[in-house]
Amino acid sequence: MNNTAAGRRLILASGSPRRHDILCTAGIPHEIRVADADESLPAGIAPSDAVEMLSARKASAVLRTAAADEIILAADTVVSLNGVILGKPLDEDDARAMLRAQSGNAQEVYTGITITDGHTTVTTHEKTIVRMRTIHEDEIEDYIASGDPMDKAGAYGYQSLAGVFVAGIEGDYFNVVGLPLCRVSTILREQFDFRPQWNRR
């Protein structure tokens, strides 16, 4: 995808294909560049602080080698259930336990974002509540057998098979997928004078 006429370039500091897809769908030109960042966290850190801290580290790691006209966007997403952060399941038993715990409950999805060009840096987070319907045992087994849960935080993908389990959400849908699109595009426009490129389709 081409970059903006204004000449600034947006760098997505994430290897997530889902974040790339969100930016593409919204017509926001970008390149992908990923650098290693320390993913360790202080014990007992709140989910909102954790995702902000990790997004800031990911952005810093890419900023070190960035050109002067480049804007770096980094993000980190976690699922929190009753205050406990759910990562990717370790194995099928772990996925089973996570899905049982989420059945009939509301969870919170936090995505932290950092946008920086080395002069201006914005770090913030967005929260979306996700309400699951009751998930029956046979559905849990079928879902685990599909292989879908294993690479996903909280052991489910709203934008894939597990969409049938989600009764509703409160907040930005794209935040659940991994990038709070409305917030990101507003910050890019207002703080960095960077806009989507909407060519005639």
Q: With respect to its own copies, which residue has the nearer C-beta, 23 or 56?
A: 23
Q: Residue 44 CB, nearest distance to its own copies (Å)?
A: 29
> What is the C-alpha to C-alpha distance for residues 165 and 177, in angstroms, rounded to an integer?
15
> What is the C-alpha to C-alpha distance for residues 128 and 75, in angstroms, rounded to an integer?
15
CA 77 to chain centroid: 4
Residue ranges in 10-39 that form contacts with its own copies under rule CB under 8 A: 22, 25-28
Q: Residue 2 CB, nearest distance to its own copies (Å)?
A: 15
Determine which residue in the list 2, 40, 82, 199 makes contact with its own copies, applying CB under 8 A: 199
Tokens of 127: 């929260």
> What is the C-alpha to C-alpha distance for residues 83 and 56, in angstroms, rounded to an integer?
22
DSSP tag of 119: S
Residues 6+ apart with CB under 8 A from 110: 47, 48, 50, 51, 77, 78, 80, 125, 126, 127
CA 172 to chain centroid: 11
Among 152, 177, 184, 182, smallest CA distance to 59 is for 184
Q: With respect to its own copies, which residue has the nearer C-beta, 66 or 177?
A: 177
Of 36, 76, 93, 193, catalytic: 76
Per-residue x/- track, 89-128, its own copies (CB under 8 A)? ---------------------------------------x
148 in catalytic set:
no
Task: State which amino acid sits at residue 90.
Answer: L
User: Is beta strand 70-81 parallel, antiparallel or unpaired with respect to 31-32?
Assistant: unpaired
Determine which residue in the list 53, 181, 187, 194 makes contact with its own copies, applying CB under 8 A: 181
Q: Residue 67 CB, nearest distance to its own copies (Å)?
A: 25
Residue 174 is a binding residue for its own copies (CB under 8 A): yes
Active-site residue list? 76
Site of interaction with its own copies (CB under 8 A): 22, 25-28, 128, 133, 142-143, 145-148, 158-161, 163-174, 181-182, 185-186, 195-196, 198-201
